[in-house]
A and B are shown apart, each in its own frame.
Chain A
Amino acid sequence: MNHDPAIPDVLPDENAVLIALRDQAEQALQRARAPLPEHAGTSIDAAEQALVRLRDALIERYRIAPELRARLDQVNVAISLVVGIETPITARQRQRLESALSVIGERRGETT
């Protein structure tokens, strides 16, 4: 399922996993912002998949750490923004990628 070779499948420890996954999601969203037209669909899929990996990891952690709820909610917001994007990407759709990036980055100062 990992369509993005830049994202490793194996990560060191649990907290680092979340941080790494968040970084990967950010990077995937940044790449999707300015894709070559013929790769637009693929890069958005990669961004969606990166966000999903972060979400799934957060769900696992949330079950023992309910304080992650706000973070999980934000990632779900970002997924909602990305899932509805259609290709080819229009200016309005690109704005959704920006919003998703902004949502993901909002709590950057906090642990995951």
Chain B
Amino acid sequence: MPSLGATFGRGAATTAQWDLANAQCVVIMGSNMAENHPIAFRFVMQAKLRGATIIHADPRFTRTSALADIYAPVRAGSDVAFLGGLIRHVLSSERWNSDPFFRTFVRHYTNAPLIVSPQFHTAAEGDGLFSGWQPEQHAYSESSWQYEAPTASAPLDESMQHPRCVLQILKRQYAEYTPEMVERVTGCPRATFLKVAEALLNNAGRDRTGVWCYAVGWTHHTTGVQMIRAAAILQSLLGNVGRPGAGVLALRGHSSIQGSTDIPTLYNLLPGYLPQPSALKSHRTLVDYIDTERVPTGWWHNFPRYAVSLLRAWYGEAATPENDRGYSWLPKIMGDHSQQPMMLAIRNGTIRGLIVIGQNPVVGGHNTHLIRKALPNLEWIVVRETFESETASSWYRSPEVLAGELAPQAIKTEIFMLPASLPGEKEGTFTNTQRLVQWHDKVVEPPGACRSDLWFTFHLGRRLKALYADSTDPKDAPIQNLTWDYPTEGPTAEPSADAILKEINGYTWLDRQQVASFAALKDDGSTACGCWIYSGVYPRDGQNLSRARVPDGPQGPGTHLGWGFAWPGNRRILYNRASADPQGQPWSEAKRYVWWDDATRQWVGHDAIDFVKDKPPDARPADESHRTGMDALSGDAPFIMMADGRINLFAPSGLKDGPLPTHYEPIESPVRNPLHAQQDNPAAKKWPRDDNTYHAVGDPRYPYVITTYRLTEHHAGGIPTRCVPTLAELQPEGFCEIAPELAAELGIANRDWVVISTARGSIETRALVTERMRPLEIAGRCVHVVGVPWHFGWEGYATGDIANTLSAIVGDPNTTIHEGKAFTCALRRGRLQRPERTPTDEDGA
């Protein structure tokens, strides 16, 4: 979530699900929360029972819409236009301009008063391009996005009237996002849009707060990061950050996906959001790496402590000052090694082997026809699964095999299918949406040869270490020097998850004492820590706080500090210093949360304090010569991860597609961008090739917008649920949803077979004709949206064609996340011509 990181300082949800109940307004956009996050949705319903206004904006009318007070239909991919319209409405409203609360919050806690370089111009002023676009580099230069002076001494205009202050820039950027333009771009009727805008304004202020919830309906776009940014800007303008019933709740796509970015499966991060060293940056030595990545002011000034402690945890005694703490053993990235380019590298033959854990790329990847044609280039694939997945059986059961495009006899790839254990068969932790780390015990032993992912990784590591033990090749030093000494238990030698969590928490190197928090970590090698943000989860021997299960009672306060451990430092609402005014007092009794207690000279409240606990509100930065780290921030600067302690309404750095969100059409769109000449995100990642072609704007062969989504009954790539009879019975086969108007136009009846096609491939499925899909009037023409759940494949009891056969490999410039939520397609009644072919013994089936 680089958007939340670039805006507030941390790439994570700012609040917890149960805090939704404290909101007076809940907006859900980019999510079908009632169906896909039903447990969290309980708290939305609690808020509604207490009188909150619930708003759902989505291309489909879903169960979430049915339970909302306001449903706003929006075309898939037009979210920034909708959000930009809300920003404009707020900034130009009488309420926002007359209630001192808003201006106080914005003036003190955001960068609204800071003055930006005279070289900067907005996308509105540049016909869709911000200043700094370098077409020959296919990238922005950030130099014109900077403040007039370096952050620590940047000039401020407290009146926020200077034409180049951030607030005035915001006004210029969104001036054209009028309700009429919002209607023209998104298809949302003007009256509905205004109803949403007024609900937001009426439920913000000293006594009232609103919260936004989003999920992958925002992230799965080439503008996904900027969609989230737009909501974060809006929330900041409304004073809805760091306060109860406020913030931005990132509803994650899977259990523990938050954990998988904290202790990352991402190619470009080390644990705790430390950047992965890169061969393309000044990262040659540890000193270079630290000098490049350390921020002089704010909390990130502590960067060296976390990096050195990580190296100590990983390389132990072998990490010495003489060898740069083993820094050279860390792999350096050479570019984008994320999943989509990885699949192209497999197609090109570059990658020779693939280990698949908790993934089913043949279903969940994009342009999966290309993926299925790519996999036979591998020498080997290891699939760790509970059932045989499409990724494991593609070589003999894929549509390409059935069509004769691939011959199983000619595929040399060796598939290793390793049975994996289920959550109840292993112990460990989940880190969910609200950054909450919760331990789960093993309930039963895994059957037969099933093993945990931990077991697999640990024993693979042990074997690799044994294999390279006698090597004299310096390339093998990273494996030789890795500490890999976790204790094991039981007949299968299961590694101790408890011991690993203790390492993640951190400990003193010499006497092996757990550290109480990340504040105890050092940059001299005297501490080891596997992930600094988790430090505090296991503060002393025998005290695993992720096991804690003490909820607050009915008397409150409802932050549940005794339940699990939320990183960082068990803080439930991030940036909670902002729940008090600049003088340290609650904005109102109704929203009292954290405040300065003059008697004890410290911050107190209902949560763990996300601030320097004894720094008074009137503290001012040290004189310029000592202005480093937290000493550079004043006592009224709640956003401690930012260099100046303020929210970045305007992001002078950190985002590849602009300092502010602006509307771009999806890469494939039926219409020209009604706002600017620049059609789509200029920095989007594209891989045009014969097997991954994109549709031109308004291509008459592909006139419909298509969006993919999930169902309550199935999980992601489908293997955990399609193979379960009771779940399969509830949603037994694939389908697509189309509006009655489109069905009438194409002569399609409910349950008819239809064929959906793109330049990447075609699928057949059943039509569900439903008023949940509504034709939208976009830029003067009627646009239909086709909805397709993407869980299905040929394995299991619930089957169907793979929706991601249709999507393209294309990515957001900041994250390389695909655009499965908005592209274009053709639709017709009928079926695909497919030869019937049953796998034979000769195929090895």
Contacts and interface: CB of A to CB of B under 8 A. Distances in A.
Interface string A90-104: 111000000000000
A86 B349 contact: no
Interface stretch (B98-106, B136-144, B491-499): B136-144
Given A1-B349, A52-B348, A90 B335 contact: no
Interface residues of A, number: 23
Interface in A72-92: 79-81, 83-88, 90-92
A56 interface: yes
Interface string B99-140: 000000000000000000000000000000000000011110
B685 A86 contact: yes
Contacts of A52: 348-350
Contacts of A42: 689-690
A90 to B, nearest CB: 4
A87 B335 contact: no
B686 interface: yes
B136 A87 contact: no
Nearest to A81: B334
Contacts of B605: none
Given A49-B349, A84-B335, A90 B136 contact: yes
Interface in B636-672: none
Contacts of A26: none
Interface string B687-698: 111100000000
A87 B811 CA distance: 12
Given A90-B136, A90-B139, A83 B345 contact: yes
B348 A86 contact: no
A48 interface: yes
A53 B335 CA distance: 21
Contacts of A53: 349
Contacts of B341: 83
Contact of A41 (B139, B337, B349, B687): B687
Interface string B139-155: 10000000000000000
Secondary structure of the B contact surface, majority rule: loop
A49 B348 CA distance: 6
Nearest to B685: A86
Interface residues of B, number: 24
A41 B137 CA distance: 16
B137 A86 contact: no
B334 A80 contact: yes
B523 to A, nearest CB: 31
B762 interface: no
A48 B335 CA distance: 14
A87 B689 CA distance: 11
Most chain-A Cβ atoms within 10 A of its Cβ — which of B280, B333, B348, B687? Answer: B348
A38 B138 CA distance: 14
Nearest to B692: A41
Contacts of A85: 335
B377 interface: yes
A91 B137 contact: yes
30 contacts: A1-B377, A3-B690, A42-B689, A42-B690, A45-B344, A45-B689, A48-B348, A49-B348, A52-B348, A56-B349, A79-B350, A80-B279, A80-B334, A81-B334, A83-B334, A83-B341, A83-B345, A84-B280, A84-B333, A84-B334, A84-B335, A84-B336, A85-B335, A86-B138, A86-B335, A86-B685, A87-B687, A87-B688, A90-B139, A92-B137
Interface of B: 136-139, 279-280, 333-337, 341, 344-345, 348-350, 377, 685-690
Given A1-B348, A45-B344, A48-B348, 10 more contacts: A41-B688, A42-B689, A45-B689, A52-B348, A56-B349, A84-B280, A86-B138, A86-B335, A91-B137, A92-B137
Interface of A: 1, 3, 38, 41-42, 45, 48-49, 52-53, 56, 79-81, 83-88, 90-92
